[in-house]
């Protein structure tokens, strides 16, 4: 099946490469940008990157991040896409909040009310930690092999 002009096999390669890159970023406790993620996956796969000047290509990147989360979330309970930011902003796009709500990580209602100013309250409850003003996906017991710790154990408070 073709979606956004790409075959399933391409999406599989992009998603696996993107997932590996985001796991490495999480281990380093670093975020990334849509631009950096796009550049890395294009270089590592040899596939054409997304052209963010076109709305459908931006939507395709959102689709890719959704695929990554769908692959990883059942095993980890994490949204690796939380590590991907806009270049000139500290928040995620509306798709992130809608997807988090759909997964049951945020309460139903207006997903935009969970934007950056309210993230700290949600951090422990939704496994999205705020650290030095950055969103980092963290895991408790589920993925210690990745070097991730819960915010409480990372701060030494339990």
Residues in Cβ contact with 99 at an 8 Å cutoff, skipping those fewer than 6 apart:
66, 69, 79, 81
> How does residue 71 score in pLDDT terms, banded at 50, 70 and 90?
very high
22 or 98, which is more confident?
Answer: 22
> How does residue 12 score in pLDDT terms, banded at 50, 70 and 90?
very high
The 3 state secondary structure assigned to the chain is CEECCEEHHHHHHHHHHHHHHHHHHHHCCCCEEHHHHHHHHHHHHCCCCCCCCCHHHHHHHHHHHHHHHHHHHHHHCCCHHHHEECCCCCCCCHHHHHHHHHCCCCCCCCHHHHCHHHHHHHHHHHCEEEECCEEEECCCCCCHHHCCCCHHHHHCCC
Mean pLDDT, residues 80-91 taken together: 81
- Residue 99 is predicted with a pLDDT of 85
Question: 72-76, 79-83, 150-154 — which is least confidently predicted?
Answer: 150-154
- Residue 69 is predicted with a pLDDT of 93
Q: Domain containing 50: what range? A: 2-155
Q: Is the pTM of this model over 0.85?
A: no
Residue 82 has pLDDT above 50, yes or no: yes
Contact call for residues 56 and 4 (beta carbons, < 8 A) = yes
| Most confident region among 56-65, 102-111, 124-133 by mean pLDDT | 56-65
- Residue 96 is predicted with a pLDDT of 81
Residue 117 has pLDDT above 80, yes or no: no
Provide the mean pLDDT of the chain: 74
Domain count, the chain: 1
Contact call for residues 52 and 61 (beta carbons, < 8 A) = yes
Question: 7-11, 82-86, 109-113 — which is least confidently predicted?
Answer: 109-113
- Residue 38 is predicted with a pLDDT of 97
144 phi/psi in degrees, rounded to 5? -65, -25
- Residue 133 is predicted with a pLDDT of 30
């Amino acid at each position: 099946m073709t979606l956004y002009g790409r075959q399933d096999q391409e999406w599989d390669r992009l998603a696996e490469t993107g997932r590996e890159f985001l796991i490495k970023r999480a281990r380093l406790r670093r975020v990334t940008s849509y631009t950096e993620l796009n550049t890395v996956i294009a270089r590592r796969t040899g596939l054409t990157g997304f052209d963010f000047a076109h709305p459908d290509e931006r939507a395709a990147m959102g689709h890719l991040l959704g695929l990554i989360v769908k692959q990883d979330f059942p095993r980890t309970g994490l949204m690796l896409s939380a590590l991907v930011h806009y270049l000139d902003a500290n928040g995620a796009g509306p798709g992130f909040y809608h997807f988090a709500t759909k997964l049951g990580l945020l309460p139903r209602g207006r997903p935009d009310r969970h934007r950056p100013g309210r993230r700290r309250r949600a951090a422990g409850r939704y496994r999205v930690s705020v650290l030095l003003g950055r969103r980092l996906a963290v895991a408790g017991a589920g993925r210690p092999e990745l070097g991730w710790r819960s915010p409480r154990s990372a701060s030494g408070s339990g």
